[in-house]
Amino acid sequence: MFFLAVDGDAGTRWSSAASDPQWIQVDLGEAATVDHVVVKWEAAYGKAYRIQLSTNGTAWSTAYSTTTGAGGTETLTVTGDARYIRLEGTVRGTAYGYSLWEFQVFGSAAGGPGGECGTANAARGKPATTSSQENGGTAAANAVDGDAGTRWSSAASDPQWIQVDLGETKGVCGVDLKWEAAYGKAYRILFSTNGTAWSTAYSTTTGAGGTETLTVTGDARYVRLEGTTRGTGYGYSLWEFAVRTVGGSGPQIPGGGDLGPNVRVFDPTTPDIQGKVDAIFQQQESAQFGTGRYALLFKPGTYNNINANLGFYTSIAGLGLNPDDTTFNGDVTVDAGWFQGNATQNFWRSAENLALNPVNGTNRWAVSQAAPFRRMHVKGGLNLAPTGYGWASGGYIADSRIDGTVGPYSQQQWYTRDSSVGGWTNGVWNMTFSGVQGAPAQSFPTQPYTTLDTTPVSREKPFLYLDGNEYKVFAPAKRTDARGTSWGNGTPQGRSVPLDHFYVVKPGATASTINAALAQGLNLLFTPGIHHVDQTINVTRPDTIVLGLGLATIIPDNGVAAMKVADVDGVRLAGFLIDAGPVDSPVLLEVGPAGADANHAANPTTVQDVFVRIGGPGPGLATSSMVVNSNNTIIDHTWLWRADHGAGVGWNVNPAEYGLRVHGDDVLATGLFAEHFRKYDVEWTGERGRTIFFQNEKAYDAPNQAAIQNGNVKGYAAYKVADAVTTHEGWGMGSYCYFNVDPTIRMDHGFEAPNKPGVRFHDLLVISLGGNGQYNHVINDLGAPTSGTTTVPSTVTSYP
C-alpha cells in the first residue's frame, strides 16, 4: 500500500503560471498498481483536467478525465500500473493558475498484493488510544513503545480495546501480540482507513496468550485489537502490540549507541578531571563563532576541588535524576577575561543538574543571552557579574535552588522561573520573577522588579541521566501555577525514555535518515557538533523528544526550514541551536503548520533552550526565525538573534525580517529574547497570548530613518500585538535601541498593541543606549520619550 504526496504538508502548495495547459507529476520510485487519486485544490482549481499514467515517464495513457471539476477535495477512481502519475490541467476554474495543497496517490505494489511482509514494527512510537487503562502506569502508549518491560493493561471487564494510528494508510500484513499473564481468550483485529468505519481482519475464540504472531491482510491507517472474552479474572494486558506492513522489511535504524567524541563523561575516579576540563575551556574560551561543541557529563557522586570554567558551546550537567546526586565541592564558572571584563558577549553555554559547594561561598555565572542555568542547587551565593563588574546583558535561571543570595550587580536584566533563592541584592533595568520562592517583592519601577507569585504553566526541559548503567532521558511533567523547583520534594514527576528509543544523531547523518528514524518512531538526540541538512526535519509524532547536547547546531544548506513540527500533542524541542544557511529560508523553525487549530492544553508542545541565529559565523539568510502556529505552545527560553557582529553581517547581508511570529492561540512565552530584526522582532496574531519577560535590542545597523519606516509609524515595534487581537498579556518587558550607523533615528514606540480591555501589559521599559537613537514613547502613544545620552529607562507600569 502506497500513500504518496508531494510533501505531506497541508499548509504548503504548488501553484502554476496563469495559463493553459499546466501539469504536475510524481515519481513513485517503483512500479505500482494505482487504484485512486486524491486531489486537494486550493481556491485556484482545475475545471478541465486529466490524470495520466506512465511506467517510464515517456509514454502516457489517460486514466481519468473531466471537464466539470468543482475544486475542493476530489477523490478520483484511477486504475492502472504506473511509476509516474501526472495531473494535466487544460482549463482553469479561475483567472489564476492551478494550485494544489496535496496530490495523493493510492494503490499497491505492482505484481502482487503488496510484495513481502516486512519485519519492522510500524506501530512503534505511533499514537495509541484505548477504551480504558488499569492505572496511571499502564497507558496505551506502553504497548507501542518498543520496550518489552512496559505494558498496557485495561479495566477488568469486557469488551476492551486498544488501537494504534499508523499515521497514514498502509498495507498491513501481520500483527504480533506479546501478552502479559492477563491475556485475551476471544478477540479480533479490526482495520480502518478513517478511524470510523471498521472491518474485521482476524478473530479467534481460542487465544492462548504468550506471543501470538498473526497473519492479517488489508489496508489500514488504524489497527485495533478488540477483546471480547478475557482469559483471566484480570483485564487485558499487552507488553507489545506490533504491526507489520508490506514493504516494511527495510533496515531498521538502530536506537541508542555511543554519544560521540564530543561528549566527555566523568566519574569521581576519572584521572585529571581538572586538566581535561581546562583543556576544553582553553579551546572554547573566546571561540565565539568556532565549530567546537562539547558536553561535559558527570556521573552521580562527589567531585572535590573542581573549578569548571565554561567557554562557548560548552554544556556541563550531572547525570543523576536529582541535582544533589552529583555534587561539586567547587565551582562552575563563567567570567569575561577573554573580553576585557565585559560579559555582554558570553553567549551559548549552559549548566544543568548539579549541586555546587562554591569554594569561596559564591559561584560566578556572568553570562548574557542563550546561557541557561537550569536545575542547579548552589549551596551558597551566586554572582551574575564578571570580575571587575563590567556589564553583562541578560540571563535565565529555572528550576534551581540558590541557598544564598543572588547578586546581579552589573547584570542589566534577568529572568528567574520556578526556583528558590536566599535573597536578591539589586537590579539594573529589568529583573523578572515567576514562581520564585524568596524573590523580591513587586516594586517596578522604584526597583526594577516584576514578580509573579506563580508561573501559569510550565514543564521543565528534558535531560539525560543514568539509571544504573543505562542512559535515559527524563521528561518532566507539566505543572500548573508552579512555584519552587520540580525536584525539591523527592522524585520528580514525569516519564523516563531509554536511550535506545532515540536515534543518536552524529554530524554527517543525513536529513533523510533523521526523518526515517522519526517515521520509525524514534526520538532524536543530537550529539555536540554541526549538523547540516538538505531537507526539513519533520516531527510528526505526538510526544516526540528532540534533545540537543552541547549546543548541537543544525544548519539548513539549501533554503529549507531546519525543522517543522506537526499539529500534535506534547512534542519537546530542547537544547539546540539553529544557524541560518547561505540560501534564504522562509522560516527556520515552524511549530505547527499554517492553520493549525487543535487544542493541546492538556499536553502542549514545549520549545526550551532552542536558539536561532542568522549570521555571525558566516553568511546566513532567513525571513523569519521561528513561527508558532500550534495552540498552547510553551516557549521557555529562546534567543532569536540576527547577528550584529561576526561574519556575514550587514543591513543587506543578513536581512532577516522577523524573529518570532505567533499565530497560535493560548501560547505562553517565559524568557523571550529577540534582537536586531529589520521589522518586528516579535509579531503576535494569536489570541490569549502571554509573555513573562522580554528582552530586545532593535537592529543596530539601520542605515537611516527611511529604512525602518512602517507606513506612518517611525520604526517597527520590538513587540507587536496585531490589531485584531482581543486578549493578550505581558510582564517585565524591555526594548533598547543603539543605532550606530545613524544615531538620529527615532522609534515612535518599543511596543505596539490594540487599545482593548483584554490587552494588558505590566512593567514596560525602553532605553536609548548612550543616546544612539531615541524612542518617542514606550507603548503606542503612552510613556515619556527617552532623551540624551544618560541611558535612563522610560517606563510604563500598566497598559492600558
Catalytic residue positions, numbered: 697
DSSP string, 311-348: -TTEEEEE-SSSGGGEEEEEEEEB--GGGTT--TT--S
Bond into 456 cis (ω within 30): no
- Structural contact between residues 477 and 459, judged by C-beta atoms closer than 8 angstroms: yes
User: Which residues, in sequence order, are bridge partners of residue 89?
Assistant: 22, 49
Torsion angle (degrees, nearest 10) of CA 722, 725, 731, 736? 10
Q: Rounded to 5 degrees, what are φ and ψ at 544?
A: -65, 140
What size, in residues, is the chain? 800
Which SS3 state, helix, strand or coil, does residue 374 take? strand
The amino acid at residue 155 is A
Phi-psi label, residue 80: left if phi above 0, alpha if psi -120 to 50, beta otherwise: left
Torsion angle (degrees, nearest 10) of CA 233, 239, 240, 241? 20
Q: Rounded to 5 degrees, what are φ and ψ at 276?
A: -70, -40
C-alpha distances in Å from residue 320, one per residue of 326, 349, 354, 376, 379: 6, 20, 8, 12, 17
* Rounded CA separation 698/677 (Å): 7
Task: For residue 591, give the nearest of 610, 575, 577 by alpha carbon.
Answer: 610
DSSP string, 461-494: PPEEEEETTEEEEEEEPEEEEE-S-SSTTSSPSE
* Rounded CA separation 192/199 (Å): 7
Q: Radius of gyration of the chain from Cα atoms? A: 28
Instruction: Report which DSSP code applies to 517.
Output: H
Query: Strand 355-356 and strand 759-768: pairing?
Result: unpaired
* Rounded CA separation 462/498 (Å): 13
* Rounded CA separation 785/776 (Å): 4
* Helices of type H across 394-521: 511-520
The amino acid at residue 320 is G
* Rounded CA separation 443/447 (Å): 5
